[in-house]
Amino acid sequence: MPESNNRRITHAYQIGFLGGLGVLTAIALGSAVISLAGIITSIITALFITLGLEPLIQLLQKRVKRRGLAIGIVVIGLVAVFSAVIFAILPTLISQASTFTTNLPDLIKEFVKLPWVESLDSRLGGSISSALNTAGEFLVDSKNWPNLLGGVVQVGISILNAGIAFLTVSILTLYFMSALPSIKRVGVSLVAKSQRKRVEGLVDQVIGSVGRYVMGQVVVATINTSILFTVLLIAGVEFAVVLAFVNFLLVLVPIIGSFTGASIVILVAAATMPSETTIGVAIALLVYIQIEAYLVAPNIMKKAVNVPTALIVVSALAGGALAGILGALLAIPTAATILLILREVWVPRQDKR
């Protein structure tokens, strides 16, 4: 009996020890992932951009017959387009941004004077006006900017890190664009030979789906920003270039981007323009957001990734809740990939049973 008890105690100790080692290993892996979060984000971003450009590269490759030449044409084209856009809007963007920053306290004061804001502010004991005025005065004073970002040294480090991150993503994107066929071949070679052809077809469909999604989202953002900029010009809203630029960046995020960009525009219009103009701008933007949500975006994305509209909305919201902007961007192609695997692998297997 004593020997039996000792064996049980020893066995329980071994299980606990191994369990403790497992927990420590999981903690170590989690810490490693957190430490490498920046690098992982750069890799995912570069891969996402690569897959977005892959359909265009494949289209050019069919004509020029060489992938390297097709990649070169795409890169030169992108640099030319970005350079033209930057040189076209940069002077106006800088001028309007400077004016906007200088006039921010006055804009806040005008916003606080709006009837519905005054009513809400009075109910809250003046907390809204006090908070907005304090924030505006703090942001306008350039002496506070280094403190806001963590000091002068921290500002320099942040700028340096941003430059390094941009350079890293650019280099990784170029590498992934040139090495994507090799990466695909290596990945497919890890599968059993009898399944390689089918897996390769699935991989090609996934790559095409992600690429079409990225291009589709850029098209949606371009259409949205063009209409918003047109509305701002017709209404005579100040800072139209700055607002359109910010809106384009926001609309790249599915679902929530359009509403966020329109909200910022409406608030600025309310602080700078008559109420009739603000109401007109708000109605025009809200009407287009409904058209985009129910017609433009679903039709473009359905053709791009072949995912039901309801699943697109749920995926974007879930991805944004789990991983922020990057999660929202990756959610729809991830859902398309899972749906493709279920449709091409799981359903046929279940049908054979």
| Domain ranges for the chain | 36-102+142-190, 193-353
What is the per-residue pLDDT across 110-166, written as a single tens digit (0 to 9) for each?
666 667 667 766 776 666 666 666 665 555 555 555 554 454 444 455 556 667 777
The conformational region for residue 65 under phi > 0 = left, psi -120 to 50 = alpha, else beta, is left
Write down the mean pLDDT value for the chain. Answer: 75
Quick check: pTM over 0.85? Answer: no
**Nearest of 328, 325, 324, 323 to residue 312 by alpha carbon:** 328
Cβ 52 vs Cβ 179: under 8 Å: no
More confident residue, 172 or 122: 172
> Quick one: 310 exposed, middle or buried, by C-beta within 10 A (0-12, 13-18, 19+)?
exposed
265: number of Cβ within 10 Å = 26
Which residue shows structure tokens 């890169």? 75
The distance from CA 45 to its chain's CA centroid, rounded to whole angstroms, is 9
What is the per-residue pLDDT across 195-240, written as a single tens digit (0 to 9) for each?
788 888 888 877 877 778 778 888 888 999 999 999 988 988 877 8
What is the per-residue pLDDT across 7-28, written as a single tens digit (0 to 9) for each?
454 566 677 777 778 778 878 8
Q: What is the pLDDT of residue 126?
A: 67
Q: What is the pLDDT of residue 152?
A: 43
**Nearest of 140, 300, 314, 153 to residue 224 by alpha carbon:** 300
Query: In 190-274, which residue ranges form alpha helices assigned H by DSSP?
Result: 196-235, 240-251, 256-272
Query: In 65-103, which residue ranges form alpha helices assigned H by DSSP?
Result: 67-102
> Quick one: 228 exposed, middle or buried, by C-beta within 10 A (0-12, 13-18, 19+)?
buried
